Amino acid sequence: MDMTKNQDVIVIGAGIIGISIALKLQSEGRQVLVLDRKGVAAETSSGNAGAFAFADVIPLATPGIMRKAPKWLIDPLGPLSLRPAYALKILPWMLRFWRASWQDKYQAALAAQASLMDFSKAALERQIQAVNGEAMIRREGQLQLYEGEAEFNASLAGWQTRQQHGVIYEFLLSPDAIAKVQPGIHPRFTHAAFTPEWKNVCDPAEWTKHLAEEFEKLGGRIAIASIDSIELNSDRVTLKSDAADYETSQVVLAAGAWSKTLARSIGDSLPLDTERGYNTTLPAGAFNLKTHITFSNHGFVVTKIGEGIRVGGAVELGGLNLEPNYQRANVLLEKAANFLPGLKVNGGKQWMGFRPSMPDSLPVISYSSRSQRVIYAFGHGHLGLTQSAGTAELVAALANTQAPDIDLTPFSATRF
Ligand SMILES: Cc1cc2nc3c(=O)[nH]c(=O)nc-3n(C[C@H](O)[C@H](O)[C@H](O)COP(=O)(O)OP(=O)(O)OC[C@H]3O[C@@H](n4cnc5c(N)ncnc54)[C@H](O)[C@@H]3O)c2cc1C
């Protein structure tokens, strides 16, 4: 069959968002073709921390953050950094981020994020069941650690906010109490919050591949093509690619951090940028990890991936084209070795990924402004894996012109 003609739905992007959407559309009887320029889980969805981070309902643009940000930015290897060569280019995004941190916008984004998280948590359970995936899920919770009472007290308002939005947690108020959940943490960490509903996937690349295999088993098709632009015709959509043009009735744009230029090709100008992140994956035996650990004030996490341990996080504002600075991954590993004195740091593999980020921390889950034949599903920032199953169900509702289960106004392509 000629894949370039008369397609029912084409999904652009075979990351966790695109593949989850493809599976869901297929389960509703749609004929789906996924196009990706590199293949399944070739970018950000391959090397992330593997967390279903349902406790992380608070948007990054919190009130007062712009007063703290310059202090973080001064340290070029701190948890947040700005590559000088990209400073001017990111300015419009930063201005929108600043606006998103005002009380009115922040409260609205928080409510929207919490509703998407709640929906995604339930959708994930449906997805796990549908793909027979329970063996790939770790239900071991998460430990957020604080150095001293002052740091812990400063976090309390955030925990109250999470509680108001349904997040369950328990405080641990001494190194001994922490050691009962996770032995081997330096006693400088005196306080912690444990979130039992947090889950992890054994390996985000393997998880995405598993979903893709299920999709293909049921007749779904995945092909390599690099899409250059989207064109709207009266009753079809044409995707121009490096090799051929594809014709389809509907298209879902799920190309992660690279979605911006494709949306622009049909006239939507969206403030999508990237928050680059770094990590190192250590081999089996590096540490006996019992739960996912978050060093929130240092901007990184330690998590189990397969038999190994992944140490990473951080945010670097540097766009899609600058070379990685792996010194950032080294710094996180050094810190982790101090905080977990038994961590074996040799033999690691470094990685950098491109979080697709909107200034208000909310993804775009929306029809394009020009046509309902083009649906957007990108911009999930730090939470793409977490929100993938929920996004898939919401996009399926849009694709089938059904009412979505949550209000999608805050996720609209025209909100800026
Ligand atoms: C260090 C780090 C840790 C993270 N940890 C977590 C975590 O623990 N939990 C969580 O929920 N999220 C986490 N994230 C975020 C998460 O990884 C992303 O939100 C998610 O992977 C985005 O998925 P995606 O499918 O939108 O994009 P991607 O996985 O980047 O996929 C986009 C796909 O589109 C394809 N593509 C791009 N342009 C074109 C084109 N023109 N034509 C055809 N194909 C194209 C690419 O090849 C790619 O395969 C983390 C991110 C980083 C960097």
Interval 108-157: pLDDT, tens: 999 999 999 999 999 999 999 999 999 999 999 999 999 999 999 999 99
CATH 3.30.9.10 domain span(s) along the chain: 62-108+135-199+273-357
pLDDT at 72 > cutoff 80: no
pLDDT category, 308, cuts 50, 70, 90? very high
293 touches 143 (CB < 8 A): yes
Q: In what order do the strands lie in the sheet with 137-138?
A: 51-52, 199-201, 137-138
pLDDT (0 to 100) of residue 349 = 98
For residue 173, the CA-to-ligand 1 centroid distance in Å is 36
117 touches 387 (CB < 8 A): yes
Report the pLDDT averaged over residues 81-108.
95
pLDDT category, 243, cuts 50, 70, 90? confident
pLDDT category, 79, cuts 50, 70, 90? confident
Most informative mutation of 12, 23, 45 for ligand 1 (most atoms within 8 A of CB) = 45
Residue nearest to atom 21 of ligand 1 (CA): 45
pLDDT (0 to 100) of residue 202 = 97
Report the pLDDT averaged over residues 401-411.
97
CATH class of 7-46+205-269+361-411: alpha beta
Residue nearest to atom 22 of ligand 1 (CA): 384
CA separation (Å) from 323 to 33, 77, 81, 86, 352? 32, 15, 14, 12, 10
Report the atom number in ligand 1 closest to the C-alpha of 51. 8
For residue 277, the CA-to-ligand 1 centroid distance in Å is 11
Residue nearest to atom 1 of ligand 1 (CA): 277
Burial class (CB in 10 A: 0-12, 13-18, 19+), 338: exposed
Residue nearest to atom 12 of ligand 1 (CA): 383
| Ligand 1 pocket check for 35: Cβ under 6 Å | yes
Most informative mutation of 292, 382, 387, 391 for ligand 1 (most atoms within 8 A of CB) = 382
Q: How far apart, in whole angstroms, are the C-alpha atoms of residue 306 and residue 415?
A: 39
For residue 167, the CA-to-ligand 1 centroid distance in Å is 25
For residue 48, the CA-to-ligand 1 centroid distance in Å is 8
pLDDT (0 to 100) of residue 1 = 63
pLDDT category, 296, cuts 50, 70, 90? confident
Residue nearest to atom 20 of ligand 1 (CA): 384
Q: pLDDT tens-digit profile of 271-290?
A: 999 999 999 999 999 999 99
| Ligand 1 pocket check for 34: Cβ under 6 Å | no
CA separation (Å) from 95 to 77, 89, 359? 23, 11, 9
Residue nearest to atom 26 of ligand 1 (CA): 256
Strands (E), 13-78: 32-36, 51-52
Percent of the chain with pLDDT over 70: 100
DSSP 8-class letter at 6: S
Report the pLDDT averaged over residues 250-263.
98
Report the pLDDT averaged over residues 50-70.
91
Q: How far apart, in whole angstroms, are the C-alpha atoms of residue 92 and residue 73?
A: 17
Report the pLDDT averaged over residues 173-192.
98
Least confident of 71-85, 114-128, 197-211, 361-375: 71-85
Percent of the chain with pLDDT over 90: 93
For residue 258, the CA-to-ligand 1 centroid distance in Å is 9
Q: How many CB atoms lie within 10 A of CB 327?
A: 10
| Ligand 1 pocket check for 355: Cβ under 6 Å | yes
| Ligand 1 pocket check for 45: Cβ under 6 Å | yes
Q: pLDDT tens-digit profile of 205-227?
A: 999 999 999 999 999 999 999 99
Least confident of 109-113, 241-245, 262-266, 352-356: 241-245
| Ligand 1 pocket check for 109: Cβ under 6 Å | no
pLDDT (0 to 100) of residue 64 = 86
Mean pLDDT, rounded, of the chain: 96
Residue nearest to atom 2 of ligand 1 (CA): 48
| Ligand 1 pocket check for 264: Cβ under 6 Å | no
Q: pLDDT tens-digit profile of 13-44?
A: 999 999 999 999 999 999 999 999 999 999 99
CATH 3.50.50.60 domain span(s) along the chain: 7-46+205-269+361-411
For residue 219, the CA-to-ligand 1 centroid distance in Å is 24
For residue 143, the cross-strand partners are 194, 293
| Ligand 1 pocket check for 384: Cβ under 6 Å | yes
CATH code reported for the domain at 62-108+135-199+273-357 = 3.30.9.10
Three-state DSSP class for residue 359? coil
Report the atom number in ligand 1 closest to the C-alpha of 312. 1
Bridge pairing between strands 300-305 and 308-317: antiparallel
